[in-house]
Every structure is written in C-alpha cells, then in structure tokens.
C-alpha cells in the first residue's frame, strides 16, 4: 500500500505462457487463487498447445510475486518453462477470471 501523499504506483501488465504439465492439474485455479489474493485483475486460460496463458494487471511487486508462483504451480503441475512479457496496463479488467 502506498504512503499517504505518495504518488500512486503505476500499474503494470504481466503476460505469461506456462509450459509443462500444466493442464488437468488445477493450474488455472491455482493462478486464480494467487491472483485474487494479490488483488490482480486479468485472466488465465488453457491453450490448444497444452500451455496455460496468463494476463494479469496490478502493482509490479504483486505481479513479480505471481510470476514466482507460476514457476512453482500447484503440487501436481510440472512447470518446464515460463515465458514472461511485461506490458503497460490497460485497466480493462474488473476482476481475475478463468
């Protein structure tokens, strides 16, 4: 949380593609739970190539925490790779959804 009178922290956007055994193991719900805990907005979805795609907007520190969580995933997942792209936030999301 920002100090009173401090300029607001600019919002950022993290776009990630997660590869490995990440479908059918609760990965999307894991991401939703983490993102909601961090008060991030955006979405997560399974892709046809067996990856999981994530777009999340929020404070950079919270997005970095989500990025670390993506590398671990839930217990049954086996994350092999996480490709991350940083973007400017659009502010176009009201919640975090799957």
Q: Which of 28, 45, 68, 78 is catalytic?
A: 28
With contact defined as beta carbons under 8 Å apart, do 90 and 13 qualify? yes
SS3 sequence of the chain? CCCCCCCCCCEEEEEEEEEEECCCCCHHHHHHHHHHHCCCEEEEEECCCCCEEEEEEEEHHHHHHHHHHHHHCCCCCEEEEEEEEEEECCCCCCCEEC
Residue 28 appears among annotated catalytic residues: yes
Q: Which of 46, 68, 81, 87 is catalytic?
A: 46
Residue 46 appears among annotated catalytic residues: yes
Dig out the tokens for 64 from the structure.
């970095």
Catalytic residues: 28, 46
């Amino acid at each position: 949380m920002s100090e009173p009178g401090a300029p607001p922290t600019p919002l950022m956007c993290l776009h990630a593609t997660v590869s490995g055994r990440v479908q059918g193991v609760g990965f999307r719900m894991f991401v939703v739970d983490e993102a909601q805990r961090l008060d991030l907005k955006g979405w997560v979805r399974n892709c046809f190539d067996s990856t999981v795609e994530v777009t999340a907007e929020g404070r950079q520190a919270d997005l970095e925490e989500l990025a670390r969580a993506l590398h671990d995933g839930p217990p049954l997942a086996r994350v092999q790779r996480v490709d991350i792209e940083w973007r400017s936030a659009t502010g176009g999301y009201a919640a975090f959804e799957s």
